[in-house]
Chain A
Amino acid sequence: EIVMTQSPATLSVSPGERATLSCRASQSVSSNLAWYQQKPGQAPRLLIYGASTRATGIPARFSGSGSGTEFTLTISSLQSEDFAVYYCQQYNNWPLWTFGQGTKVEIK
């Protein structure tokens, strides 16, 4: 099983600031990496797939980068609606998809 490790567990950011979230895979997942946003009481929402491709309707302030074992999700200027939990997920190890434990982005 590929273990996905996210850091930090919690990120305190002021509105308008930049947020950088990290995700590390225990072995290479190539670019088969997705990011999801989840707000309380809601299902996860796909943000990024292929490590860097924004899903339909996702604002340009969300960007993803990385390949292999190291990945980053950047939110360029945090809006109030961006405070949430973010998960990375690998889909390289078919069919055993695995998620990271999540990073909570909270208001500073």
Chain B
Amino acid sequence: EVQLVESGGGLVQPGGSLRLSCAASGFTVSSNYMSWVRQAPGKGLEWVSVIYSGGSTYYADSVKGRFTISRHNSKNTLYLQMNSLRAEDTAVYYCAIDSNGIFQHWGQGTLVTVSS
């Protein structure tokens, strides 16, 4: 059974950093495209970043230069390093298996709150 479990969210001050993790089971992270999608409180969904099986990475303009997606193959885990955080980054962050843009499997999400 495919399972995705995010962790690492919490309260951080503006300008701070946080690293999110997404532990996967039932499939191999490095063999799949993996994305992060976020949802601000009471708002819609926003795609954030993707890492392809070959290692290429892409980002939404809103996070480019501040966020870094990566993976640890032996731990079968996906990461999102978030630097220079802003209030507008406050959201629930989901990891998902990205099947050429179709998100069949999602984690339960982890909440990031950026506030002083």
A residues near B (Cβ < 8 Å) are: 32, 34, 36, 42-46, 49, 55-56, 87, 89-92, 94-102
Contacts and interface: CB of A to CB of B under 8 A. Distances in A.
B103 A98 contact: no
Interface residues of B, number: 19
A71 to B, nearest CB: 15
B109 A43 contact: yes
Nearest to A90: B101
B116 interface: no
Contacts, number: 54
A91 B50 contact: no
Q: Is the interface of A mostly helix, strand, loop or mixed?
A: loop
Given A43-B106, A44-B106, A95-B58, A32 B44 contact: no
- A-B CB proximity, top 3 nearest: A91-B101, A43-B106, A99-B45
Given A32-B101, A91-B102, A98-B47, 15 more contacts: A43-B94, A43-B106, A44-B103, A44-B106, A46-B102, A49-B102, A56-B104, A87-B44, A87-B45, A91-B101, A95-B58, A95-B101, A96-B58, A99-B44, A100-B44
